[in-house]
Amino acid sequence: MNDLVKTNRRRLSSSELPPPSCEGPRLRAFQYRDKPIEWMGMLDDSPEISSSSRQGYVFKVKVHSKIYALKVFKFFKPTTYRWHLGPEDGRKVSDDTLEFNTDPFYAECRAYGRLQETRRKQGLKRRDFAHCHGFLALNKKDAAYIEEDLGIELWDVPPSDEYRRRAEGSPIRAIVKEFIASDPVIDSRTLAKMIKGLGWMNKHGVLVWDIHARNYRGGILVDFGSAWTRPHCLWDALPEDQKKDVHLSDRARFQDMADDLGLEDDTRAVANIDYKMKLRPRKDKSYPR
């Protein structure tokens, strides 16, 4: 077992992630991470999501007599977004920092860590996002079920890739979330609650980025795999004149989603959003989608 695999195993056996070397919030380990998992089916088999664009796969599972949604993450190459930093900032940021800020697994750990702790401190009961119960590493039996029985490929880089060769054998990462059984149709009242919740998340340093109807269940956000939780190395590297546009990009994407749902007039009246022309996110892939 090489050093990188040992490091990844050690991290996933810890009580919180990301590790203390990463500035910012953390997520606790799942209380029952050593209990058997009963697999009850895949939840996100939508044909609109290609295998190459997936961050992971979500399953309905039972652990310790309770039903959960379990998101199993793909492996992620830490340097994927280094080019966003440019030549100067790119030399200043370590691979570990890039990984803890941009890997979808760690992105969810940091976002949930920030939002759940903030909600607890504020004593809020409003439900804007699915509750997260913590992270875990799949054992060998469950890993074999995912990769061999289901035939799921968790790597998007070829076997010859140097990072993959060093990281293969690392544990498969997963995050345990509440299972939301029903998915009511989103109407104007639900949409108003959703934009209010999104504004609260942005206010507390979480930019979601990936705003789509498929990432909500009954108006509750269930996916933070693309989130930037400040402090964040890509945010810190942005020129000051771009930070305002990026900060407002969630609301522009929310407006796009409302338009797609045929509720653009309702959400504009409720949320007073007038970003569609002024703040439309750039199409040049300057930022992760």
Is 0.85 surpassed by the pTM of this model? yes
Contacts of 118 (CB under 8 A, 6+ apart): 204
Beta strand 56-63 with 66-73 is: antiparallel
Q: What gap in Å lies between CA 175 and CA 154, rounded to an integer? A: 15
CA angle 152, 178, 20 (to 5 degrees): 80
Give the model's pLDDT for residue 245. Answer: 85
pLDDT of residue 113 exceeding 80, the answer is: yes
Q: What gap in Å lies between CA 139 and CA 143, rounded to an integer? A: 6
Q: What is the mean pLDDT of the chain?
A: 89
Answer for the pair 99, 239: CB distance below 8 angstroms, yes or no: no
Give the model's pLDDT for residue 286. Answer: 45
Instruction: Assign 250 a pLDDT band (cuts: 50, 70, 90).
Output: very high
Give the model's pLDDT for residue 51. Answer: 67
Answer for the pair 183, 218: CB distance below 8 angstroms, yes or no: yes
Instruction: Assign 218 a pLDDT band (cuts: 50, 70, 90).
Output: confident
Q: What gap in Å lies between CA 153 and CA 157, rounded to an integer? A: 10
pLDDT of residue 37 exceeding 90, the answer is: yes
| 214 sits in which H/E element | none
Instruction: Assign 289 a pLDDT band (cuts: 50, 70, 90).
Output: very low
Give the model's pLDDT for residue 202. Answer: 95
Contacts of 36 (CB under 8 A, 6+ apart): 63
Please tell me whether the peptide bond between 239 and the residue prior to it is cis, using omega within 30 degrees of 0.
Answer: no
What domains are defined for the chain?
A: 3-180 (3.30.200.20), 182-221+238-289 (no CATH)
96: number of Cβ within 10 Å: 14
Give the model's pLDDT for residue 48. Answer: 57
Give the model's pLDDT for residue 279. Answer: 46
Q: Give 254-286 pLDDT, tens digit per residue.
A: 999 999 888 865 555 344 544 443 444 444 444
Residue 79 DSSP code = G
Give the model's pLDDT for residue 46. Answer: 61
The owner of tokens 């609650």 is: 193
Instruction: Assign 106 a pLDDT band (cuts: 50, 70, 90).
Output: very high
Q: Give 62-103 pLDDT, tens digit per residue.
A: 999 999 999 999 999 999 999 999 888 888 999 999 999 999
pLDDT of residue 111 exceeding 70, the answer is: yes
Give the model's pLDDT for residue 31. Answer: 98
Q: Give 157-212 pLDDT, tens digit per residue.
A: 999 999 999 999 999 999 999 999 877 788 888 999 999 999 999 999 999 999 99
Q: Which two tokens stand for residue 228?
A: 């930037």
First to last CA, the chain: 34
Beta strands in 111-207 (DSSP E): 132-137, 173-178, 206-207
Pick 103 or 288 by higher pLDDT.
103
Q: Which two tokens stand for residue 174?
A: 């997963």
